[in-house]
Structure 1
């Protein structure tokens, strides 16, 4: 089986639902997650346990933002997907973060999720604590 746009969209739905168990169903045993924030720049998590922890940290980092899907494509064992987050502050100002994920697939599962983000203005939150 190969990754499909429909299956990749299901992964995005699991991300927006903050469903860690469901997210991990899409990942290979030797998976890697390169987060869009952290000291490298972006912290890299390897293996199922670490990737799960990385997903949990990123979901906490983006708490309070609403996640939206964008365009995606798949070309063989690679793919990409756009996304953005929005949050409206107490003054009614909308804050937006745009990003994309670059993927490597092994069949219908994700081996690598490499995330990038662009922050528009000061969104007022710091990176998650990395221990």
Structure 2
């Protein structure tokens, strides 16, 4: 297991526990997070304070959901993985993230989500 795989494994575990503090600590101070939903095409959060606010909002909205990630596909300086959310009503949401990593911290999390027609 390389350093990026370890970081992302820890990230997925903290996300699954809904441990906002642990999740945020894995981001670089100047990181950027593009959420898969929001007022723009997604919602952009820059820096740990905005990322914390974004994650707290997301966890409040999908309270009770469980998440799973695939094994990351790691490349120099980052990774890609897919994810699956099971919401409390049993519905499933699928998506993926492009992640960039430098100096042991996530510098970019760019999330994409499958959208149902209708």
TM-score (norm 2): 0.88
Shift, 1:72, TM fit: 1.0
Shift, 1:9, TM fit: 0.9
Q: How many residues align?
A: 117
Gaps (5+ residues) in structure 2? none
**Conserved? CA contact 1:35–1:116, under 8 Å:** yes
Shift, 1:6, TM fit: 2.1
1:109 maps onto 2:91 in alignment? no
53-62 vs 34-43, which moves further = 53-62
Match of 1:126 in 2: none
**Conserved? CA contact 2:79–2:100, under 8 Å:** yes
35-44 vs 62-71, which moves further = 62-71
Change (3 A) 1:121 1:95: farther
Shift, 1:103, TM fit: 0.7
In the aligned structure 1, how far is the partner of 2:9 from the partner of 2:18?
Answer: 14
Shift, 1:120, TM fit: 4.7
Counting only pairs closer than 5 Å after superposition, residues 76-115 of structure 1 correspond to structure 2 as: 76-87=76-87, 89=89, 94-115=90-111
Counting only pairs closer than 5 Å after superposition, residues 1-131 of structure 1 correspond to structure 2 as: 3-87=3-87, 89=89, 94-120=90-116
**Conserved? CA contact 1:3–1:109, under 8 Å:** no
TM-score (norm 1): 0.80
Find runs of 4+ consecutive structure 1 residues off by over 3 angstroms.
119-122
In the aligned structure 1, how far is the partner of 2:34 from the partner of 2:3?
Answer: 20
Gaps (5+ residues) in structure 1? 123-131
Change (3 A) 1:121 1:96: farther
